[in-house]
Amino acid sequence: MADIQFESDLLNYIIKNGYQPGDRLPTISELQDADNLGISVSKVREQLEVARALGLVEVRSKTGTRLKEYSFTPAVRLSLFFALATDLRYFEYFSTLRTHLEMTFWHEACGLLTPEDHCELRGYIEAARGKLSAARIRIPTEEHRAFHLTIFKHLENPFVIGLLEAYWDAYEAVELNRYADYGYHKLVWDYHERILDGICAGDYDAAQDAFMKHTRLLHHQPRMQDMEHLAEMVESKVTE
């Protein structure tokens, strides 16, 4: 194990003592003891909160504090949401990163999908179209996220998965799942079907081409256009 030192007594303690996901950490008072961290209770609480925000530990009243399975998502989400709170233009930058990331791992991810996964993806398409064709139309938000993440779910790369999960969290946070007419949503799911048809046929190039054309739809999404217009207004005021 690499000898990496953190600016956190708690994280150094966790690594030094070889804690594994699911292991219960000592209580705050035990951690505060000189034989463990030897720092104040307030400092222990502060460092626990940072670790919790990064998704490294979970703190529950009945089971105490336990080390979680590593996930890159919480750290990326926290930073990304802060960026979006300061300037919505950051979403477009992150969206571009997401597109290049998926293009890079596309063939590898598609090759790992099983027939059961194909059925699962087909189910998302059917469920989404059911929502869009119902008497009371509902936006297939959950299906949209699940469809894309399912394609990459077998990649054993927590950093890729973390970036993609954070993208969909941001997509929902800036409400891109809300501001679009029926025709836009229908077209999105037509492209999803083309993507899946290519994957099922083993024609990953065709599926990738459909994916790229599908991502370009985002620039025509009303909410995205509003965000770009707002960014232009802000920039023009800054330069006045």
CATH of the domain at 15: 1.10.10.10
221 found inside a domain: yes
Instruction: Look up residue 129 and give its two tokens.
Output: 């179209």
Interatomic CA distance for residues 110 and 138, integer angstroms: 29
Tokens 């956190």, residue located:
8
The total domain count for the chain is 2
pLDDT in the model for residue 238: 33
More confident site: 186 or 61: 186
Instruction: Look up residue 124 and give its two tokens.
Output: 């998302």
Residues 145 and 198 in one domain: yes
Residues 104 and 38 in one domain: no
111 found inside a domain: yes
Show the domain range for 51. Answer: 9-67
Query: 16-43 in b/e burial notation, b at 16+ Cβ within 10 A?
Result: eeeeeeeeebbebeebbeeebbebeeeb
pLDDT over 80 (residue 230): no
Report the half-sphere exposure of 21 (CA within 13 A, side-chain side).
Answer: 6
202: left (phi over 0), alpha (psi -120 to 50) or beta: left
Residues 160 and 202 in one domain: yes
Among 44, 67, 90, residue at a domain's last position: 67
pLDDT tens, residue by residue, 182-203: 778 888 999 999 999 999 999 9
2 found inside a domain: no
* Mean pLDDT, residues 61-65 taken together: 82
Burial bucket for residue 80 (CB in 10 Å: 0-12, 13-18, 19+): buried
* Mean pLDDT, residues 144-167 taken together: 97
Interatomic CA distance for residues 229 and 240, integer angstroms: 17
Residues 62 and 84 in one domain: no
pLDDT tens, residue by residue, 70-110: 999 999 999 999 999 998 889 889 999 999 999 999 999 99
Q: With CA atoms as reference, report the closest residue to 15 among 101, 23, 143.
A: 23
Residues 107 and 130 in one domain: yes
Three-class SS state of 6: coil
Residues 165 and 196 in one domain: yes
DSSP string covering 105-121, please?
HHHHHHHH--HHHHHHH
Give the least confident one: 74-83, 217-226, 227-236: 227-236
